[in-house]
Amino acid sequence: MSTGEPCSTPPIIRCSVGITAHNEEANIGQLLEAMRNQRLRTVEITEIIVVASGCTDRTEEIVREHMACDPRIKLIVQEKREGKTAAVNLFLAHAKENICVLESGDTLPGEDAIESMVRMFADPAVGMTGAHKVPVNAPEHIVGYMSHLRLRLEHQLCLEIPRLGELIAFRKVFDHIPHDVAMDEAFVEALVVRRGLQVRYAPDAVVYNMGPQTVGDFIKQRRRNYAGHLHLMEKYGYRVSSLDAGRVLRLALTEVWRALQLIWALFVLALLEGVARLLGWWDYRVRHRRHEVWDIAWTTKRVTPPSSVHLSSLPPHTRQE
């Protein structure tokens, strides 16, 4: 029954997007395209600032091509590469909105990523949000599989205690980051927490990235990250959740248990399939039974979908609309 009162619409939350880039000609075009085509309802992207640091490829040229198509896109050029923190500080100095989104130039946001992250700031207690990192490496390769496994563990960790990176959004409650900080996302997290604001994970906000493809690069990346986190802990007194060895070990053991369950299930499946094939051979070769009118497996006759499964939760390629 209508009360005659007009429906209230949520206020639009405006944000500035910053993209840090160093020689990203292979990805920057599709990244800007993805950012321009974000599906937004309660969020507005007012500007997209690309900080190109010491680029020697076509990164700047590609950004300028997109600038001609979208006035929101701006380019800041650092002639010399000075590290990501310096690029982030340039973005902060030019960003005009109170809500800032920061993304690495070698990633791609899902079509709802910005909406899913930024709409959380309707709650004034929220100071920072982060996206769900999904690797695009082929998991068949051992290093690609390790990237998938590591990010799956990180996703489970973030569901308990957020540890955000690659694509984050935050309130602009600070002007700059110290130049000696290597892990900028973790330092932003520390600043937000110390101001009494909440850090939240947005699992529906997907950001795609390419993990290392060689063992050497895998070790190089993890080595750099761990050293940066140790520096953050030693100098600034902030410990990210991924340094909680006990919690990470528990999540790892959960994966081990799932693997053991899978191995056991495969063994039982192979055993039952073998028994069924032996009986089928007996029916056909010995008893000459053809099963034109088969013996019904009655437990397969009632299909009751779980109450937790809804049409909207199914992957797009499985839905019929």
DSSP string computed for 132-184:
EEEE-S-TTSHHHHHHHHHHHHHHHHHHHS----SEEEEE---S---TT-S-H
Q: Same domain, yes or no, for 163 and 280?
A: no
The last residue of one of the domains, among 208, 243, 278, is 243
Q: Same domain, yes or no, for 265 and 222?
A: no
The residue among 204 and 259 whose pLDDT is bigger is 204
Q: In 3D, which of 96, 100, 21, 98 has the Cα closest to residue 64?
A: 21
- Tally of CB atoms within 10 A around 64: 13
Distance from the Cα of residue 70 to its chain's centroid: 26
Q: Same domain, yes or no, for 269 and 204?
A: no
Q: b or e along 218-227 (b: 16 or more beta carbons within 10 Å of the residue's beta carbon)?
A: beeeeeebee
Residue 98, pLDDT score: 94
Residue 223, pLDDT score: 72
Alpha helix (H) residue ranges in the chain: 28-36, 59-67, 84-94, 113-118, 142-160, 184-194, 215-236, 245-281
pLDDT digits (tens, 9 = 90+) for 262-311: 777 778 778 878 888 888 888 878 887 766 666 666 666 676 666 544 44
Q: Which amino acid is at 208?
A: Y
Q: Same domain, yes or no, for 19 and 62?
A: yes
Q: b or e along 229-249 (b: 16 or more beta carbons within 10 Å of the residue's beta carbon)?
A: bebbeeebebebbbbbeeebe
The residue among 254 and 160 whose pLDDT is bigger is 254
Q: What is the number of structural domains in the chain?
A: 2
Residue 239, pLDDT score: 57
Give the pLDDT band of residue 160 (cuts 50, 70, 90).
low
- On average, the pLDDT of the chain sits at 79
Q: Same domain, yes or no, for 283 and 205?
A: no
Distance CA 59, CA 88 (A): 17
Residue 14, pLDDT score: 96
Range of the domain at 291: 245-296
Query: Tokens at residue 235, please?
Result: 């100098």
Q: Same domain, yes or no, for 95 and 206?
A: yes
Q: Same domain, yes or no, for 126 and 221?
A: yes
Task: Check whether 122 has a pLDDT greater than 50.
Answer: yes
Give the pLDDT band of residue 317 (cuts 50, 70, 90).
very low
Give the pLDDT band of residue 318 (cuts 50, 70, 90).
very low
The residue among 105 and 159 whose pLDDT is bigger is 105
Residue 172, pLDDT score: 92
Distance CA 313, CA 80 (A): 46
Q: Same domain, yes or no, for 70 and 167?
A: yes
Query: Tokens at residue 279, please?
Result: 């009986």
Give the pLDDT band of residue 316 (cuts 50, 70, 90).
very low
- Tally of CB atoms within 10 A around 172: 14
Q: Same domain, yes or no, for 280 and 146?
A: no
Q: Same domain, yes or no, for 190 and 58?
A: yes
Task: Check whether 11 has a pLDDT greater than 80.
Answer: yes
Task: Check whether 149 has a pLDDT greater than 80.
Answer: no
Q: Same domain, yes or no, for 71 and 205?
A: yes
Distance CA 293, CA 285 (A): 18
Asked if residue 305 belongs to a domain, the reply is no
Highest mean pLDDT among 18-22, 83-87, 210-214: 18-22
Asked if residue 163 belongs to a domain, the reply is yes
CATH code of residue 87? 3.90.550.10
Which uninterrupted H or E stretch holds 13? strand 13-21
Q: Are 89 and 51 in contact (CB under 8 A)?
A: no
Q: Same domain, yes or no, for 287 and 232?
A: no
